[in-house]
Amino acid sequence: MSDWPPGLVSSERLTLSIDAMGGDGAPQMVVKGIALAHERHPEVHFLVFGDDSRLSPLLEQAGPAVQRVCQVHHAADAIRNDAKPSAALRAGRKSSMRFAIDAVADKRAAGVVSAGNTGALLAIAKFVLKTLPGIDRPAISTYFPTERGETVMLDLGANVECDADNLVQFAVMGEVFARHVLGLKQPTIGILNVGAEGAKGNEAVRKASEILQASPLPIKFSGFVEGDDIGAGTVDVVVTDGFTGNIALKTAEGTARMFGVFLREALTKSPLTHLGALLARPALTELRMRVDPRRYNGAPFVGLNGICIKSHGGTDEIGFANAIDVAIDLIRRDFNERIKEDLERLIAFQTEPASAAAS
């Protein structure tokens, strides 16, 4: 391990903190992911938290170039996948996950990536990093392919129950995400509901819709959208509570997988369809890549006072490297500062709606 001085963010240098013990294939998958990310981002340095005796040989294998940008910090514990968030927060003080998050709080790293236990990561990150001013609860967000480009969705499971204010905050954060990460000029926002009409749905979605409609923020609120609008890409940002969002996202993943299975079964039925599939292989490969979940791996916890990216636990090194890309991207775009600016405007409006609307 080289002992380079810790640097945070500059054009030549950016330091990320990595929980090396989270995820089904950890720590091997994580180190391989770092190696892949290093090829794309040679300027990024990694504080790698985990079991030193397992990490050192893996980094050895990864070669001197990767070793040069990695600094291993031993952590005796790892948060188990089935640990309850509250227990992880209490008992996980010497875990790789906690150490990795601490590094962001201590400004030794500009962001953290973990493929570990989602609930634990959220609880520890919220406790250690705190939320941004004006945000009650952070949300898990991601973006994925649709018929009409890419769409951001949040919350994906951080908050099982949400009130209207939570949803409004998610809308603001999602809009910033779509603008600064997806590069959309004027992203449209919709609230997920069981119908497009104003009278449908529960109180939280109806009230959130009213607040957003009255908001002086320069955002394009399109009202309610339904489940099939997600795949259609009707809006750029889909806002929902964590219970519905988690289930919708996983339902979409499951349906895409089912469709893939059906397609394979259909194409391998006869010699003729087999030949057809062979000729169409480049197209089918392209299709598979287009919906490859690894390309969309890396869900930011938005609303935290620090960049924290959750990688899917079942991903491989390609997916983990993508989660690292997401972290770097958010840091380079000063994502949290952008959210803060928009939130300040929203809070000003909510405290004094008349004057804010008039100004």
Q: Are 132 and 165 in contact (CB under 8 A)?
A: no
Q: Does 161 bind a copy of itself (CB under 8 A)?
A: yes
List the one residue from 267, 318, 348, 356 that touches a copy of itself (CB under 8 A): 267
Window 6 to 45, contacts with a copy of itself (CB under 8 A): none
Closest CA to 84 of 119, 122, 126: 119
Token look-up 């791996």 returns 297
Q: Does 90 bind a copy of itself (CB under 8 A)?
A: no
Closest CA to 169 of 158, 180, 184: 158
Residue 40 or 250: the one with the smaller Cβ distance to a copy of itself is 250
Q: Quote the least distance from Cβ 68 to a copy of itself, whole Å.
A: 39
Q: Quote the least distance from Cβ 167 to a copy of itself, whole Å.
A: 13
Q: Quote the least distance from Cβ 24 to a copy of itself, whole Å.
A: 15
Residue 79 or 343: the one with the smaller Cβ distance to a copy of itself is 79
Q: How far is residue 142's CA from residue 37's CA, in Å, rounded to a whole number?
A: 19
List the one residue from 65, 214, 261, 357 that touches a copy of itself (CB under 8 A): 261
List the one residue from 182, 284, 347, 356 that touches a copy of itself (CB under 8 A): 284
Q: Quote the least distance from Cβ 271 to a copy of itself, whole Å.
A: 10
Window 98 to 157, contacts with a copy of itself (CB under 8 A): 145-147, 157
Residue 244 or 336: the one with the smaller Cβ distance to a copy of itself is 244
Q: How far is residue 134's CA from residue 349's CA, in Å, rounded to a whole number?
A: 12
Report the relative pairing of strands 14-19 and 44-50 from DSSP bridges.
Answer: parallel
Report the relative pairing of strands 44-50 and 70-74 from DSSP bridges.
Answer: parallel
Q: Does 227 bind a copy of itself (CB under 8 A)?
A: yes
List the one residue from 262, 337, 341, 352 that touches a copy of itself (CB under 8 A): 262
Q: Are 332 and 41 in contact (CB under 8 A)?
A: no
Q: Does 357 bind a copy of itself (CB under 8 A)?
A: no
Q: Is 90 exposed, middle or buried (0-12, 13-18, 19+ CB in 10 A)?
A: exposed
Interface with a copy of itself (CB under 8 A), residue total: 65
Residue 12 or 161: the one with the smaller Cβ distance to a copy of itself is 161
String marking each residue 187-216 x if it binds a copy of itself according to CB under 8 A: -----xxx--x-xxxx--------------
Residue 185 or 290: the one with the smaller Cβ distance to a copy of itself is 290
List the one residue from 276, 334, 337, 352 that touches a copy of itself (CB under 8 A): 276
Q: Is 278 exposed, middle or buried (0-12, 13-18, 19+ CB in 10 A)?
A: exposed
Q: How far is residue 148's CA from residue 142's CA, in Å, rounded to a whole number?
A: 16
Q: Does 303 bind a copy of itself (CB under 8 A)?
A: no
Q: Are 125 and 304 in contact (CB under 8 A)?
A: yes
Count of CB atoms within 10 A of residue 183's CB? Answer: 10
Q: Does 84 bind a copy of itself (CB under 8 A)?
A: yes
SS3 string, 77-99, reads ECCCCCCCHHHHHHHCCCEHHHH
Q: Does 232 bind a copy of itself (CB under 8 A)?
A: yes
Q: How far is residue 310's CA from residue 319's CA, in Å, rounded to a whole number?
A: 11
Closest CA to 322 of 60, 49, 29: 29
Q: How far is residue 291's CA from residue 264's CA, in Å, rounded to a whole number?
A: 15
Scanning 22-30, 287-295, 327-335, 337-345 for contacts with a copy of itself by CB under 8 A, the matching segment is 287-295
Q: Quote the least distance from Cβ 152 to a copy of itself, whole Å.
A: 15
> Which residues are near a copy of itself by CB under 8 A?
82, 84, 145-147, 157, 160-161, 192-194, 197, 199-202, 226-232, 240, 242-244, 246-263, 266-267, 269-270, 272-273, 275-284, 286-287, 290-291
